[in-house]
Amino acid sequence: MRRLDYNSVLQTLVNFIEKSVNETNASGVVIGISGGIDSATVAYLSVRALGKERVLGLTMPYYENRDVEDARLVCESLGIECRVINIKPTVDSFILGLGFEPDRKSMGNIMSRTRMVLLYAHANQMNCLVLGTSNRSEFLTGYFTKWGDGASDYAPLINLYKTEVWEIAKLLGVPRRIIEKKPTAGLWEGQTDEDEMGISYRLLDEILWRLVDLKMPKDEIAEELGISIERVEHVERLVKSSEHKRHLPQGPTF
Ligand SMILES: Nc1ncnc2c1ncn2[C@@H]1O[C@H](COP(=O)(O)OP(=O)(O)OC[C@H]2O[C@@H]([n+]3cccc(C(=O)O)c3)[C@H](O)[C@@H]2O)[C@@H](O)[C@H]1O
Ligand SMILES: Nc1ncnc2c1ncn2[C@@H]1O[C@H](COP(=O)(O)OP(=O)(O)OP(=O)(O)O)[C@@H](O)[C@H]1O
Ligand SMILES: [Mg+2]
């Protein structure tokens, strides 16, 4: 992987948030706090950039599990306001209105888009910006809901791989319990990112960096990492098939 000076990356992230908020005359930021590491990292960076009074955390559970406790742990350790909104009634009423039984992926995407609606309602009302939490590993593989968690005003982590986010989180002092948790979108019980994508983040990031940033031939990547070419091709397919998620909607030009 590339070697970054994480202290300097951290300062760049803090400066970026401060500048984005000040230049837009926003009062502060709203962040969806899941209890996972990406949102915790964005919250920690935001408090460094803006102070705790200008950061609002929204925890929006669908399932009853430990994630709400973890989200509270993040907010309490930072001293930021944490509002909990149970999205089950809203999501269930969407499903009732559909007239068909959505599969678990469609249902998960409804959950993600419901959270987006709630984040923007708070941003509108409070003159705040929505900070996204997507990282480069998710962005390049399309591992996010289009117009759901992929939607935000600024996304400070978008150019950092997941393995790099882990390093920044350690430097920030994010609670260990949050750092050590298995990454999960939490869209269905037992879901984990690495199972669904079929690869560990450590290997994914090594492949993505060579494939996308260094533009290395696939056979060289496989040889250098001591893996089969099929694994590299799997990642390449994820990148290619999610191209549409990295652009605004296209139309013909005249
Ligand atoms: N070629 C193309 N050009 C333009 N648009 C295209 C398209 N192919 C599909 N589409 C559109 O995109 C839609 C599919 O995209 P989308 O609706 O996002 O749905 P999809 O990519 O199928 O599912 C979202 C994935 O992201 C994961 N996720 C979601 C939320 C959070 C996290 C997390 O890590 O926390 C992960 C989730 O587990 C799932 O694997 C299609 O229904 C279609 O409308
Ligand atoms: N229950 C939730 N309450 C509030 N926001 C949520 C919830 N679930 C997901 N989100 C939002 O969607 C984002 C995307 O989820 P994702 O799982 O990629 O990140 P994470 O949970 O912060 O970290 P990890 O990937 O390690 O689980 C979260 O960072 C958060 O902003
Ligand atoms: Mg998560």
Instruction: State yes or no: 162 annotated in a binding site.
Output: yes
Segment (H or E) for 111: helix 104-126
**3-class DSSP state for residue 185?**
coil
Give the residue among 157, 152, 155, 158 at the shortest CA–CA distance from 169.
Answer: 157
pTM for the whole structure: 0.98
| CA terminus-to-terminus distance, the chain | 43
pLDDT value at residue 113: 98
Q: What is the mean pLDDT of residues 151-164?
A: 98
pLDDT value at residue 142: 98
- In one-letter notation, the amino acid at residue 107 is M
> Which ipTM was obtained for this model?
0.99
Pair 119, 30: CB distance under 8 Å: yes
pLDDT value at residue 136: 98
pLDDT tier at 159, thresholds 50, 70, 90: very high
Ligand 2 proximity of 32 Cβ (cutoff 6 Å): yes
Ligand 1 centroid distance, CA of 210 (Å): 24
Pair 120, 147: CB distance under 8 Å: no
Pair 134, 158: CB distance under 8 Å: yes
pLDDT tier at 133, thresholds 50, 70, 90: very high
State pLDDT tens for residues 32-87.
999 999 999 999 999 999 999 999 999 999 999 999 999 999 999 999 999 999 99
pLDDT value at residue 163: 98
| pLDDT, mean over the chain | 97
pLDDT value at residue 239: 98
Q: Within 13 Å, how many C-alpha atoms sit on residue 117's CB side?
A: 11
Q: Atom 7 in ligand 2: which residue has the minimum CA distance?
A: 34
Ligand 2 centroid distance, CA of 25 (Å): 26
Share of the chain above pLDDT 70, in %: 100
Beta strands in 106-172, from DSSP E residues, in sequence order: 128-130
C-alpha 78/C-alpha 89 separation (Å) is 29
pLDDT tier at 200, thresholds 50, 70, 90: very high
Mutate to test the pocket of ligand 2, among 38, 144, 146 (most ligand atoms within 8 A of CB): 38
pLDDT value at residue 82: 97
pLDDT value at residue 100: 96
Question: Which ligand neighbours the alpha carbon of 66 most closely?
Answer: 2
pLDDT value at residue 67: 95
pLDDT value at residue 101: 96
State pLDDT tens for residues 102-112.
999 999 999 99
Question: Which ligand neighbours the alpha carbon of 162 most closely?
Answer: 2
pLDDT value at residue 177: 97
Give the residue among 96, 176, 172, 185 at the shortest CA–CA distance from 145.
Answer: 185
Q: What is the mean pLDDT of residues 114-126?
A: 98
Ligand 1 proximity of 152 Cβ (cutoff 6 Å): no
Ligand 1 proximity of 111 Cβ (cutoff 6 Å): no
C-alpha 89/C-alpha 194 separation (Å) is 29
State pLDDT tens for residues 205-228.
999 999 999 999 999 999 999 999
pLDDT value at residue 53: 98
C-alpha 110/C-alpha 117 separation (Å) is 10
Strand partners, 83: 58
Q: What is the mean pLDDT of residues 227-238?
A: 98
Pair 151, 132: CB distance under 8 Å: yes
